[in-house]
A and B are shown apart, each in its own frame.
Chain A
Amino acid sequence: MAFRVGTELVSALMVGVGVGWLLDRWLGTKPWLLIVFFFLGAAAGVFNVYRAINGMSMTPGFRKDDGRAETKKDGSDADGKFP
């Protein structure tokens, strides 16, 4: 779990910095977008960790998954096999 949280944090930061760097190169606004996206990436990383800890399946969107619980109730056979 600890390792999972670590990768979530770091990977979002990496993507943020990567997007910022690429946009900087494209728009010629060095280094401002890199700095902005560094913080956005850090925020996304913290979001990801928050969701991972709360069991929200690490997805965008804040709600807990209702869909999963619903589909389990209807129709599926009891022994856990696909018919």
Chain B
Amino acid sequence: MAGPIEQFEIKPIVALEFGALDLSFTNSAFFMVASVAIVTLLITLSMRGHMLVPNRMQSISELMYEFVANMVKENVGQEGRPYFPFVFTLFMFILFGNMLGMIPYSFTFTSHIIVTFGLAAMVFIGVTVLGFAKHGTHFFSLFVPEGAPKVLLPLIILIEVISYLSRPVSLSIRLFANMMAGHTMLKVFAGFTVAMGVFGVAPLAINVALTGFEFLVAFLQAYVFALLTCLYINDAIHLH
């Protein structure tokens, strides 16, 4: 019986090694490519018709587009329009990564912290650059809360900087921990089912419920990631 952690193992599909560099095409990379390919195909093929009254596939695309468009609009406003493609790409990539991971025998690339941290670091650096580009050195006023006593300012600025630096960490840990914990739990209960024989019906029933719950988490975490990206963009654009 496979251990609950074995599902997260990275296995090279096409081994590529340049000296000390291991650039193998792994199962993680494969599912990232699959996620990008499926999203691209889904959007481009379903929007081919350009029908005024959309068919089913076109409805799916429009639904997802409007979902993210509304999210950007509500949280950033009209100035957020240039950043819609970025948020949409991020949301779809993570959503399909999470959903592909729900297929049995597949691999969830969002369950690795280096992947989620890479995404979160991209958001963090992008938002910081955006803030500096929009406001110049005035961006530093983000770290000075209004109405704070002058005596406390050095302490508060330090705390605010730590709070700002903790953004990519919390963003990445939230996604990775949710995905990893959920998939581990599924595997653990599946292990109980095998080990308990006839009484394995009970953990099997729990597993059915957990699978449904995991679909919710897969969607919700992609949503939260995109939402927080919107909020960070909003902060960089509308400085307090």
**A residues in contact (CB < 8 Å) with B:** 3-4, 7-8, 10-12, 14-16, 19, 37, 40-41, 43-45, 47-48, 57-63, 65, 67-68, 70-72, 74-76, 80-82
Residues of B71-97 contacting chain A, CB below 8 A: 73-79, 81, 84
Q: Are A44 and B163 in contact (CB under 8 A)?
A: yes
Q: Inside 8 A of A10's CB, which chain B residues have their CB?
A: 170, 173
Given the interface contacts A8-B170, A61-B142, does A16 sit within 8 Å of B238 by beta carbon?
Answer: no
**B residues in contact (CB < 8 Å) with A:** 66, 69-70, 73-79, 81, 84, 142-148, 155, 158-167, 169-170, 173-174, 177-178, 224, 228, 231-232, 234-235, 237-238, 240
Q: Inside 8 A of A68's CB, which chain B residues have their CB?
A: 74-77, 234, 238
User: Which single residue of chain A is at the shortest CB-CB distance from B81?
Assistant: A82
Chain A to chain B contacts (Cβ below 8 Å), 29 pairs: A3-B174, A7-B174, A11-B166, A11-B169, A15-B169, A19-B162, A40-B155, A44-B159, A44-B160, A44-B166, A48-B166, A57-B231, A57-B234, A57-B235, A58-B228, A60-B142, A60-B163, A61-B145, A61-B160, A65-B234, A68-B74, A68-B75, A68-B238, A70-B77, A71-B78, A71-B79, A76-B73, A80-B73, A81-B69
6 closest A-B pairs by beta carbon, nearest first, are A71-B77, A67-B238, A11-B170, A11-B169, A12-B166, A44-B162
User: Which single residue of chain B is at the shortest CB-CB distance from A71?
Assistant: B77
Q: Inside 8 A of B173's CB, which chain A residues have their CB?
A: 7, 10-11
Query: Which of A10, A47, A82 is the most central at the interface, judged by chain B CB atoms within 10 Å of its CB?
Result: A82
Q: Inside 8 A of A75's CB, which chain B residues have their CB?
A: 78
Given the interface contacts A12-B163, A47-B159, does A61 sit within 8 Å of B238 by beta carbon?
Answer: no
Closest chain A CB from B68 CB (angstroms): 10
Complex alpha-carbon distance, A14 and B117, angstroms: 14
Closest chain B CB from A46 CB (angstroms): 9
Q: Are A60 and B66 in contact (CB under 8 A)?
A: no
Closest chain B CB from A68 CB (angstroms): 6
User: Which single residue of chain B is at the shortest CB-CB distance from A43?
Assistant: B159
Closest chain A CB from B73 CB (angstroms): 6
Query: Which of B142, B170, B228, B240 is the most central at the interface, judged by chain A CB atoms within 10 Å of its CB?
Result: B170
Q: Are A62 and B147 in contact (CB under 8 A)?
A: yes
User: Which single residue of chain A is at the shortest CB-CB distance from B84?
Assistant: A82
User: Which single residue of chain A is at the shortest CB-CB distance from B141?
Assistant: A61
Closest chain A CB from B152 CB (angstroms): 11
Q: Are A81 and B166 in contact (CB under 8 A)?
A: no
Q: Inside 8 A of A12's CB, which chain B residues have their CB?
A: 162-163, 166, 169-170
Q: Are A48 and B142 in contact (CB under 8 A)?
A: no
Closest chain B CB from A72 CB (angstroms): 6
Complex alpha-carbon distance, A7 and B145, angstroms: 23
Complex alpha-carbon distance, A81 and B84, angstroms: 12
